[in-house]
Chain A
């Protein structure tokens, strides 16, 4: 399982905002580093 977060959300001043550069960041399940599935989290 691989989780790819399109944009990390940041909590600033009580508001959810996109990460500073809007870049795609990946969180890879360390037990299986092959991207076989993507999922968005809070975006």
Chain B
């Protein structure tokens, strides 16, 4: 395997860590210089709007930049032990890491895990989704141009069932980073377990977005809208469940529905489009199936729920931005991850009640709270079973802030200096000085 050979080659194993950082800095520059083309490729294959793709490319560049600065700061420690001994730890690269990247954020999520892996001295094999491989292929090209040694970054294409399974079952692999569904994540973990391979999993979500009456309600409505309809709802951290306090419910929902009806659905490459298509025909079918389930289970459809009537959109995988109300956690649309532009609304009366409903699902990835009461915000920060919580904002993540799920939403964290734990091994060294 090329990655294994590169891992042990003199040009990588002996490289000055600060040079690894400079190589990542060069890659950062190349990503920024080629951001227009990368964004167009992303929109062409994933379907999201160019504005969203440009944001994703900018985020990827920032991730490379962040990890470039940390490459020479992967430090061990000295540990106090009984006299006449010296005890210290070495932080070594984990080895060959495999990165199975999903189709919803192809370049951003490739960068999110590839950058720390390289910064820590690993070699990587990136497998993009078979329906969105273009930016990962270009990223491989840019890595070579940046001077990253041959074999350090490898990009393999193909299906998850064929190529992905072969990678996660390979005993020469030391770590697997997987972002995708909980079902596939479980299979990845099973395969990895046979070789005792370390895994980092970021899986699904059914994320609560909670609005209290004392919030800035205009901003909250805009945030609830963008929290689900960005990237046509194809996000693990989509705010797919909104809990609105009963005292403001009617007016808030009226505003939210008006804002949602005003969303311009269209091709991602069209600058005026605010929401693009779903990534595949299969996804369109699945999402419309959930709409049917919602209607059959007794939820009330407030808007959307079908393909757009615009004749110009009939050939694409479009689904109108959709809102249901009277949704509860027993309904499929209230507990399953839809991964599409479908929002479920629920009224609440008390803080205890909304905490119970928000925590009702098997997922625990992300959440949002809108309130001007700091006491309420802090109480929810403690009581909500989520790996990340946004207060008075939503869909916010930085390369330096941890991102990971509780419960069935994953194992471990991406982003932030602590994620280096995954990409390194710790060796303890004890020296008898007597």
Contact = CB atoms under 8 A, between A and B. Distances in A.
Interface of A: 1, 3, 8-15, 19-20, 25, 27-34, 41-42
Interface string B342-378: 0000000000000000000000000000000000000
A35 to B, nearest CB: 11
A29 B49 CA distance: 12
B163 interface: yes
Nearest to A2: B44
B281 A27 contact: no
B163 A20 contact: yes
Nearest to A17: B156
B410 interface: no
A19 B157 contact: yes
Given A31-B47, A31-B269, A42 B163 contact: no
B102 to A, nearest CB: 15
Given A12-B2, A14-B144, A15-B150, A27 B158 contact: no
17 contacts: A10-B154, A10-B156, A11-B144, A12-B2, A12-B154, A13-B2, A19-B157, A20-B158, A27-B44, A27-B132, A27-B134, A29-B44, A30-B47, A30-B317, A31-B313, A32-B315, A34-B315
B287 to A, nearest CB: 13
B158 to A, nearest CB: 6
Contacts of B153: 11
A9 B141 CA distance: 11
Contacts of B276: 30-31
Contacts of B317: 30-31, 33
Given A11-B154, A25-B130, A31 B5 contact: no
B316 A27 contact: no
Nearest to A39: B44
A3 B47 CA distance: 12
Contacts of B131: 27
B199 to A, nearest CB: 23
Contacts of A31: 47, 266-269, 276-277, 313, 315-318
Residue with the highest number of chain B CB atoms closer than 10 Å, among A12, A41, A42 = A12
Given A30-B280, A32-B315, A33-B317, A9 B137 contact: yes
B383 to A, nearest CB: 39
A12 B137 contact: no
A10 B155 contact: yes
Nearest to A34: B315
B213 interface: no
B416 interface: no
Given A12-B154, A13-B2, A27 B277 contact: no
